[in-house]
Amino acid sequence: METDAKRGRALVEESREAVVVLDEAGTVLLASRRARQSIDGIREGDRIPGGLLSGDRGIVPLIVPYDIDGRRERLVYLSQVGDMTAYEELRTGFTAAVSHELRTPLARLLSLLETAMLPGEDVHALVDQARAEVESVRELIDEVMFLSELESGGRVVSLGSVAVRPELDAVCAELEERASRAGVSLVVVGDPAIELEMRPRMLRVVAQNLAENAIRYAGPGATFTLAVERGEDGIVLRGTDDGVGVDENVLSRLFERFYRADRARASRGTGLGLAIVKHIVGQAGGSVEARGGRGAGLEIRCIFPAVRSTR
């Protein structure tokens, strides 16, 4: 029971939502850090401030009553009215974007199947093209689901520490053949002793998405360098290519879902790779930024806090 109580307190405390646990009299038994920091008057052991449960203070409460050991308690999620509006707008926009992104490969797939029915067509070649479109749809669905799990907390990003360089080497080795076909050279540099507080799987996802972005878009003859180094603010993971680059005025938009820097790239990739990178890095306590320009290549910098000493 003591272990369960500690676990429950930790879950509430670290919740990304403003959440409180109330007893039957309205006394705050537990409150998440976000609730205490973002809403005035919330303190454990005190009564819940007036107006919060009625919506009179611009707060939208979601109340979940339950019984425990014969006592009546309530789990209350507190959201700003604007937060709910923004969430609905984001959800609607994301759904529309996914629908749009699925239409293109599905339309091409239908066209290929219809063409295969015509006399004299190379059916085997058309089937190969159709298979590629199906793979494109599968990749999009996989990445949408992965991003959704990240945002919902279904994927744990930080759990223990990992040596970075071996994971970077493994990712580039797996992508070597694909990069060669695209005419892009892969290079890995960095101190093998550098570690990050991150699950190895999540580090590989970041490295893979950075490398795949360069393989798709840097252009033949480009070199992509995946580097890890100690910086002034922590650990820096850099993905840098000397390829075609993008216009400086769109650098900040590269991490948006489904954003592509130019229309010529619309048929390649899901448009979610760098959005996933940003989300993983953010959940690991870091930040991302893009540098470069048209004809000047592209650099994606992921800045992480240094691993805390256990000594």
Q: State the pLDDT at residue 263.
A: 41
Q: Where in 149-205 does DSSP place strands (E)? A: 162-163, 185-190, 195-196
Residue range(s) of every CATH 3.30.565.10 domain in the chain: 162-304
What's the CA gap between 292 and 24, in Å, rounded?
58
Residue range(s) of every CATH 3.30.450.20 domain in the chain: 2-80
What pTM does this model have? 0.55
Q: State the pLDDT at residue 194.
A: 92
How does 27-42 read in b/e, with b if 16+ C-beta sit within 10 Å?
A: ebebbbebbbeebeeb
Q: State the pLDDT at residue 171.
A: 92
Which homologous superfamily does the CATH classification assign to the domain defined by 2-80? PAS domain (3.30.450.20)
**Class at the top of the CATH hierarchy for domain 83-152:** mainly alpha
Residue range(s) of every CATH 1.10.287.130 domain in the chain: 83-152
Please give the structure tokens belonging to residue 6: 């500690």
The whole-number mean pLDDT for each consecutive block of 10 residues of the chain, a chain of 311 residues, reads 66 77 91 82 89 77 82 84 50 55 74 86 87 75 64 56 91 93 95 87 88 91 94 89 88 75 49 81 86 90 74 42
| CA distance to 91, 117, 121, 128, per residue, from 133 (Å) | 26, 18, 18, 9
Q: State the pLDDT at residue 201.
A: 82
Q: State the pLDDT at residue 205.
A: 87
Which homologous superfamily does the CATH classification assign to the domain defined by 162-304? Histidine kinase-like ATPase, C-terminal domain (3.30.565.10)
Angle subtended at Cα 186 by Cα 197 and Cα 209, rounded to the nearest 5 degrees: 50
Q: State the pLDDT at residue 86.
A: 47
